[in-house]
Structure 1
Amino acid sequence: MNLSKKQVEVLVKGCVNNDRTAQEALYKLFHADMLRVCYNYLPDKRLAKEAFNLGFLKVFQSIKDFDIKKGELGGWIRKIMIYTSIDICRSELKFNTIQLSEREETEFFISPSVLEKLFFEDILKNIRSLPFATQTVFNLSVLDGFTHKEISEQLYISEGTSRWHLSEAKKQLRALLETSAKGTDQLAERSGKAK
């Protein structure tokens, strides 16, 4: 979505003036990427679409506040989609209040040899198989760069609970991804023998 500054200004101005053509163009331009953002946080398609639609409503209601000098339009819309998805997550999630100190938080290394055997869809499928609360914390931390403090403020949980969920996500993902990679190896061996 490489729009020139002038194109962005025209699009934003049209949306501010409630020009349906500009609104439709903005919607179509960001539809796929922003729906994907919502699916990252809400694997339930109904909830993801609800977040997406509510997010675009917020975009159109607040587009007059967008300042091209302060950031990129796609990033601004993405942020609205993330926060809208978090709002829906908050109402759907049940968190275990387990504390994990910073020293206990461990980094789980996933070997590049494991990752190179998997497709993006395989990795995404494994992320989506995590428990909903754990998946949400993982997405916020790893995919969108939120700190544990920011996650705790957004989800109304303690920083220790956020750390625990991230640690648990990494542990479970490592096991899932290694299992998926072994399955890919076995499939490749069988297809090699079949030739």
Structure 2
Amino acid sequence: MNLTKKQAEKLVNGCINNERTAQEALYKLCHADMLRVCYNYLPDKELAKEAFNNGFLKVFQSIKSFDAEKGELGGWIRKIMIYTAIDLCRSEMKFNKALLFTEKDEDEFFISPSVLEKLFFEDILQSIRTLPLATQTVFNLSVIDGFSHKEIGEQLNISEGTSRWHLSEAKKQLRTLLETSGKSTDQLPERSGKAK
């Protein structure tokens, strides 16, 4: 979302004043990116749309609290979308709180850069979407959105150890999926848009 500070301020003020044109402009501006955020956490398209719409309702309800001095409008909206998707995700799944994880497990799931070079961005996304929902959610929060295991635990109501286990399991499953995909792309012609 590339807005100048002045453009963002105008949109925010319009939304605070319940101006339909400002609300519609903000919705259209964010639609594709924020729906993608929801889809990262909820691979079911209908659930992702539900999270997106619920998230935007929250955006409009709490837009008065947006503070441009504390951050960018797109980042603020993204955070709302992530938390809304997590809330919906939490209601759709159950985490196994008894799972154990050791720190040394994390190093065992390294994916070779030569394999990653052969994969395309969509292949990687598709692989992530095949993970079990709980594991996928922890992976997205940790790797894509940069949350700590403590923050993930607080958001998903799980222990840090369970969060670590899900991340470790995601890496393990993705390693297998990506190495298989990487090997199968050896005979494919070069395409643009490779994951680096």
Same fold (TM over 0.5): yes
Query: How many angstroms does 1:94 deviate by?
Result: 1.8
Give the C-alpha shift of residue 135 in structure 1: 0.5
Query: Could you say if the C-alpha distance between residues 187 and 103 of structure 1 is closer, same or farther in structure 2, counting changes exceeding 3 Å?
Result: closer
Secondary structure of the residue that 2:186 maps to in structure 1? helix
Give the residue type in structure 2 aligned to 1:65: S
Q: C-alpha separation between the residues in 2 aligned to 1:107 and 1:28? A: 43
Amino acid at match of 1:60: F
Residue aligning to 1:21: 21
Structure 1 window deviating more from structure 2 (179-188 vs 101-110): it is: 101-110
Q: CA deviation digits over 1:51-108, x for unaligned, max 9? A: 0000000000000100111100000000000000010111111222202143544362
1:49 paired to 2:31 = no
Deviation per CA, 1:90-145, whole angstroms, max 9, x where unpaired?
11112222021435443622122111111110000000011111111100110011
CA distance in 2, matches of 1:104, 1:144: 22
Q: What CA RMSD, in Å, does the superposition of the two structures yield over aligned residues? A: 1.2
Residues in 1 aligned to 2:174 and 2:101: alpha-carbon distance in whole angstroms: 18
Shift of 1:167: 0.3
Q: 1:110 to 1:103 in 2, by over 3 A?
A: closer
**Cα distance in structure 1, aligned partners of 2:54 and 2:122:** 26
1:149 matches 2:150:
yes
Q: What letter is aligned with 2:186?
A: D
Where do 5+ consecutive residues of structure 2 fail to align?
A: 190-196
Task: Give me the whole-angstrom Cα distance separating, in 1, the residues matched to 2:2 and 2:31.
Answer: 15
**Aligned residue for 2:78?**
78
TM-score for the superposition, normalised by structure 2: 0.92
Larger radius of gyration: 1
Q: Which residue of 2 aligns with 1:125?
A: 126
Question: How many pairs does the alignment contain?
Answer: 188
Structure 1 segments, 4+ long, off by >4 Å, are: none
State the match for 2:12 in structure 1. Answer: 12
